[in-house]
Amino acid sequence: MNKNKEQLLNKRYKAEQRFRLYGLSAIFMALLFLTIFIFKIFSTGYTAFQKTWLIVPVTFDAELMMLEQNPSNEDLKDADYYDIALKSMADLDPNANEDQENELKRMVSYFFEKEIKNELLNNPGLIGKTKEVYLTASDDLDQVFKGNYPRDLPEDQRRVSDYQLKIFDQLVAKGKVESKFNISFFTYADSREPELAGIASSFMGSIFSILVCLMIAFPVAVLAAIYLEEFAPKNRFTDFIEVNINNLAAVPSIVFGLLGLGVLLAIFHLPRSTPLVGGITLSLMTLPTIIIAARASLKAVPPSIREAALAMGASRMQTTMHHTVPLSMPGTLSGTIIGLAQALGETAPLILIGMVAFVNTIPGSPMDPAASLPVQIYIWAESAERGFVEKVSACIMVLLGFLIIMNLFAQIIRHKFEKKWS
């Protein structure tokens, strides 16, 4: 009998140990996947924050630029920079034939003309002189410099010719190739050229979208939640509404995209591809999330507080507004931020309402066409150029950073207000 009991006890302890082991290994697995994921993204993406520049001597020849004596600022703006730009590149190899000159030109981005122009506009005294100017390297050379480009492929399978590599290596040897922090990744809009593509457009698009989403979803959801929780009678009709709100939260996001397409664009003719439409569509998606969070936190306010206020002669409205709602706000707000974070990461509905269009301008308002960060990831991931691979990872990093900051904010709000009165 006693021995049996001993065995039983041992068995129970062992079961507990096993259970702990399962739990630990589950956590280990989760962390492992997360680490692999983050490592992969960082190792591919970190190079996107560096940009390769070629330092090329440019002679600002007034004659080639079609400039008269003592040109005004206007003249400088209108001047022709293409020839001197071309010449500076061709001068890298004095013995180059015409084909090779063309290849030399393609070693830098098509922005090189503009970069030379900006240099002169910043310093008009350069006319007639020669100065070394930083020119954005082409995306392929950028990848070569970062070591991401397979040099050992046969030449006909490479986008960089042997000749370009030779000149590039010469420049590297002379210290005329430099890698600097890639500011343009944050300030430029999207581009077909990886070396010139940035996230400014999609970043602003995302910000405008979630602002629109917040402004629509938050008030509507909070009012709905307050009404349902504090005022509505509990009957079949309100039960029916509750079930439907929960169902709405489970509707696949692409369905909301179709709704946006069919209603906002087709019937109301709102401007296509804009954060306005995107935000409204996302707000439909966020609405149930916020309602559920707000109702849960209203429910969590102890009934004794309501009773205390009512017994003091506060009306129902006063009880709600003075006591229940303020106490439920931390929960509501953190629910809202989590809902917005979801909306921020949403791609499918935005693709349907046209925010997937190629946008090379930075939107100034929610009415301007824009992309959004997750859609930008999708667009770049589809592009063939090798230079976009690192850009995708970098964009993911920015999006994740954004999400982490938002979730952190939600945590801080919750903690700060919960601590205050407990």
Partner 1 sequence: MKKNGVKMIKIKAKNVDVFYGKKQALYNIGLDIEENQVTALIGPSGCGKSTFLRCLNRMNDVIDICSVKGEILINDFNINDKSCDVVRLREKIGMVFQKPNPFPKTVYENISYGPTIHGMAQSKQEMDEIVETSLKKAALWEEVKDRLHEPGTGLSGGQQQRLCIARAISVRPEVILMDEPCSALDPIATAQIEELIDELKKEHTIIIVTHSMAQAARVSQNTGFFHLGHLIEHGSTDKIFKNPDNTKTQDYITGRFG
Give the binding site for partner 1 (CB under 8 A): 233-234, 302, 304-315, 318, 322-323, 327, 420-422
Shortest spacing between CB 334 and partner 1, in angstroms: 18
Task: Let me know: does 355 contact 375? Beta carbons within 8 Å.
Answer: yes
DSSP conformation letters of 85-128 = HHHHHHTTSTT--HHHHHHHHTTB-TTHHHHHHHHHHH-GGGTT
Q: Which long-range contacts (CB under 8 A, 24 or more apart) does 64-71 make?
A: 67/127, 71/124, 71/127
Q: The dihedral of CA 323, 325, 331, 337: what is its sign?
A: negative
Nearer to partner 1, 115 or 230 (CB): 230
Decide the pairing of beta strands 177-181 and 130-136. unpaired
Minimum CB distance to partner 1, residue 242 (Å) = 16
DSSP notation for 262-327: IIIITTS-PPTT-HHHHHHHHHHHHHHHHHHHHHHHHHTS-HHHHHHHHHTT--HHHIIIIIIHHH
Q: Do 46 and 181 form a contact (C-beta atoms < 8 A)?
A: no
Closer CB to partner 1, residue 272 or residue 323?
Answer: 323
Minimum CB distance to partner 1, residue 318 (Å): 6
Nearest approach in angstroms of CB 305 to partner 1 is 6
Q: Which is nearer to partner 1, 250 or 312 (CB)?
A: 312
**What is the residue whose two structure tokens read 């439909």?**
284
- Of 20 and 322, nearer to partner 1 (C-beta) is 322
Residue 308: CB minimum distance to partner 1, A: 5
Residue closer to partner 1 (CB basis): 174 or 420: 420
CA 32 – CA 24 distance, rounded (Å) = 12
CA distances (Å), origin 220, targets 72, 168, 237, 279: 57, 59, 19, 14
Give the residue with the Cβ less far from partner 1, 234 or 269. 234
Looking at beta carbons only, is 52 or 320 nearer to partner 1? 320
Spatial separation of the C-alpha atoms in residues 102 and 55, rounded to whole Å: 18
For residues 24 and 305, which CB has a smaller minimum distance to partner 1 in the complex? 305
If the CB atoms of residues 314 and 348 are measured against partner 1, the closer one turns out to be: 314
> CB of 50 within 8 A of CB of 56?
no
Smallest distance from partner 1 to CB 420, Å: 8
Residue 376, number of CB atoms within 10 A of its CB: 30
Quote the least distance from Cβ 228 to partner 1, whole Å.
14
Crossing angle of the two packed helices 2-45 and 387-421, in degrees rounded to 10 = 130
Q: Measured from the CB of residue 223, what is the shortest distance to partner 1 in angstroms? A: 21
CA distances from 383 to 138, 153, 289, 354, 380 (A): 16, 21, 34, 18, 5
Rounded to a whole number of angstroms, the minimum distance from the CB of residue 291 to partner 1 is 21
